[in-house]
Structure 1
């Protein structure tokens, strides 16, 4: 019953062309509209909230949620952490998926990277250099770099998926206390990517991206 009510609430959002932040009918209105019990509506809304499809603001009402990939990130990261502790190469596999996506796209980016995006990337690499001198490249800087890298492709879903895999890999490494990266190496690998992009050399950019992941690969395999 709850799954059916979830599906009907999602159809209501689509039918009314609601967007994130828009209010949904009240719980009482949904009960009457869907002709189901109050408990069924509450269960459905709680499940949809877990998926970030709706947001329940106690005392204010229910709204269309942010519709982010956060539940996906949490699921993938937790799956990888559990299987890693069972001796499976789940963390390595997660890294491979992210590498395949980024290395497969960087050549396209290199052919037509806007000057403004290149300026942003250069600024982020300069920040990495400063952070590396201080002993640690901040994860926020690394994340901003990889987000800026593919912005010119103009594909919002692609950006969200890439960021989701970045976040999942980072989260599971933090959960497993795997943070042994050399900040100077991190900085240099990103600088190599920017240098290749500035030269408009797609093959060099792909090679630089693979070298970037080689460092992660060595930490995961111990080789």
Structure 2
């Protein structure tokens, strides 16, 4: 069994058992027996979770759960998405607010710092988006590329790194979003307006378009999230 498969079993186990931050979870030996995997593979899975600040191994004491909601790295969000773990309404709200904070700052900076190369990159993505839409193909990847290009135009590398984690974690949701009629056309229209405002250095206009764009996406996801997916302890 691969490490990824073990992670796909350990994380739901921790969630379903309702372990609290700071609580000790079963030992390495007990987990290996429960999931019927070698100690070596299990150690790799635990090392991954420790690196993401999900677990803490204390010498001569055991394995303890950290506060995932506040201490786990952004890579944990990507991992949960890769494993196909359920997303709650609270998760969607947090992710959209995180994205909004990043992109508002990115667009504000892009209006001041964008270069000719930045604009050429945005134009290439928009051209590809229009071609794919005309061919009836998904814009999932082009959407991510466009927003990553916006973040790159900010000139801030930390914004780019944080945004990359968000887009990696949203792959499956983007595919669903662009499977809905009308979302692709609306996205291209708003991306084009956003590109033009940035080219003109019009921060106010760019933020107005961005807020409308993000609002559409948030309303869509809040309407489609499944209440049954809520995490224990979340409303």
Taking the aligned partners of 1:79 and 1:96, their CA distance within structure 2 comes to 23
Larger radius of gyration: 1
Q: Indicate the residue corresponding to 1:193 in structure 2.
A: 194
2:150 aligns to what? 149
Cα shift readout 1:201-222 (whole Å, capped 9, x = no counterpart): 1111111111211221232244
1:136-164 per-position Cα deviation (integer Å, ceiling 9, x unaligned): 44222111112221224444332121121
C-alpha distance 151-78 of structure 1, shift in aligned 2 (>3 A): closer
Query: Quick check: 2:118–2:149 contact (8 Å CA) kept in 1?
Result: yes
Deviations 1:66-88 (A, max 9, x none): xx96444123x48996352xxx4
Alpha-carbon contact 2:152-2:160 (below 8 Å) kept: yes
**Structure 2 equivalent of residue 82 of structure 1:** 86
Q: Which moved more, 1:164-173 or 1:121-130?
A: 164-173
2:161 is aligned to: 160
- Counterpart-to-counterpart distance in 2, 1:45 and 1:80: 20
Query: How far did residue 52 of structure 1 move?
Result: 7.6
1:94 lines up with 2:134 in the alignment? no
* Alpha-carbon contact 2:106-2:154 (below 8 Å) kept: no
Q: Deviations over 1:76-106 (max 9, x none)?
A: x48996352xxx4432332222122212321
Query: Counterpart of 1:73?
Result: 78
Q: Which has the higher contact order (CA 8 A, sep 6+)?
A: 2
Aligned equivalents of 2:108, 2:154: Cα separation in 1? 12
Using structure 1 for the length normalisation, give the TM-score. 0.61
TM-score for both structures, normalised by structure 2: 0.58
Distance 1:185 1:136 in 2: 15
Match in the other structure for 2:47: 48
Separation in 1, partners of 2:102, 2:111? 15
DSSP 3-state at the match of 2:136: coil
Tell me if the contact between 1:117 and 1:148 (Cα under 8 Å) persists in the aligned partners. yes
Matched pairs, number: 165
Find the counterpart in structure 1 of residue 216 from structure 2.
215
